[in-house]
Chains A and B, each alone.
Chain A
């Protein structure tokens, strides 16, 4: 909202700077970082006082080998730190438009079930947390309302229906039917929510990978929102999408602040409060800037983690049906635990996965030019 002050530059010249997305993006990142450092210790202290640690070993997938290692008493729900920092920083620095409103709405809409899930697990000691139907209801509700608003608003109603894929210079489908659009957006939001949820198993892993994804999404949003750059790169031009760069910068700043406390040994976990919401946020941003399939490349680590669980479970069930005894593809799923079982220290797994994440992010960025 600070961008409105740029209209008063005749009173004070430097206010003109607030017109520029790049300036506001830097401001948003620094503000989110600052907010995270201010509220982080306070919230962590509060969570510790309320004993918001898991207090149990998660054995839901024990048969296939996914467990938490010695992290019973570390407080969870740290995703609130990221949410507060992102929300207030974005509200301050981004210009309100349909894209930023819907992105923040989806982020909020998915933070609530995540928070509720964590709350049931740590306060009510309910190991299963939120019921599956309730989680699906929240995700469906957030997606349907977001899509409804995007289809209603004149700035987004035509743009959101385009389907673009990497390497093609024009839209694959210029005008999608709303049912196909709903299915795709839902799959992306739910898919990446669960992917980040699965990735959040080692200290700093999920949030570190989110930083690289947010960085590239921010660059792509800037390119998509600029008519000259988008024309040059032959990518979709989405008027107003440049404001999503400010949101992505706020996300980077918030994640950096959270990583300060989440680095090994973690003082706080993001929990479902963070992972569910972050997945939904990056999924919906990717759709709005017409890069949903590029997100599959950029978020390669998240996709890898999700697929490792899918393949592990699928292979186990298939071999059990065929041979009577289930076999494992990996020593443990998700895949970061497989490398831990092989003897890699936790910090080595995390740092190597960050390297992979940066590699995937750069590969995704390269698709902007390879058309």
Chain B
């Protein structure tokens, strides 16, 4: 099972245009920004 996950993970890394760290950072930014905007635009 873990070998399968590792193999899938390697395939994903090969296909992704950016590194996992970059995607994680962008994802975190997007979440924080969305929450900030929702809270800030409340009337």
List chain A positions with a Cβ less than 8 A from chain B: 1, 84, 87-88, 91, 96-98, 100-101, 104-105, 108, 149, 153-155
- Cβ contact of A87, chosen from B29, B35, B40, B41, cutoff 8 A: B29
Q: How far is the CA of A98 from the CA of B38 in the complex (A)?
A: 10
List chain B positions with a Cβ less than 8 A from chain A: 25, 29, 32-33, 35-37, 39-41, 43
Q: Is the CB of B43 within 8 A of A153?
A: yes
Q: Is the CB of A100 within 8 A of B40?
A: yes
Residues of chain B with a CB closer than 8 A to A101's CB: 36-37, 40-41
A95 to chain B, nearest CB (A): 8
B34 to chain A, nearest CB (A): 11
Q: Is the CB of A98 within 8 A of B41?
A: yes
Q: How far is the CA of A87 from the CA of B33 in the complex (A)?
A: 9
Contacts A1-B39, A88-B32, A100-B40 known; list 9 others, CB within 8 Å. A87-B29, A87-B32, A91-B36, A96-B37, A100-B36, A101-B37, A104-B36, A108-B33, A153-B41
- Cβ contact of B36, chosen from A1, A84, A149, cutoff 8 A: A1
Q: Which of B33, B35, B41 has the most CB of A within 10 A?
A: B41
Residues of chain B with a CB closer than 8 A to A91's CB: 32-33, 36
A70 to chain B, nearest CB (A): 31
Q: Is the CB of B40 within 8 A of A98?
A: yes
- Cβ contact of B40, chosen from A84, A97, A108, cutoff 8 A: A97
Q: Is the CB of B39 within 8 A of A96?
A: yes
Residues of chain B with a CB closer than 8 A to A96's CB: 36-37, 39-40
Q: List 30 A-B contacts (CB under 8 A).
A: A1-B35, A1-B39, A84-B25, A84-B29, A87-B29, A87-B32, A87-B33, A88-B32, A91-B32, A91-B33, A91-B36, A96-B37, A96-B39, A96-B40, A97-B40, A98-B41, A100-B36, A100-B40, A101-B36, A101-B37, A101-B40, A101-B41, A104-B36, A105-B37, A108-B33, A149-B41, A153-B41, A153-B43, A154-B43, A155-B43
Residues of chain A with a CB closer than 8 A to B32's CB: 87-88, 91
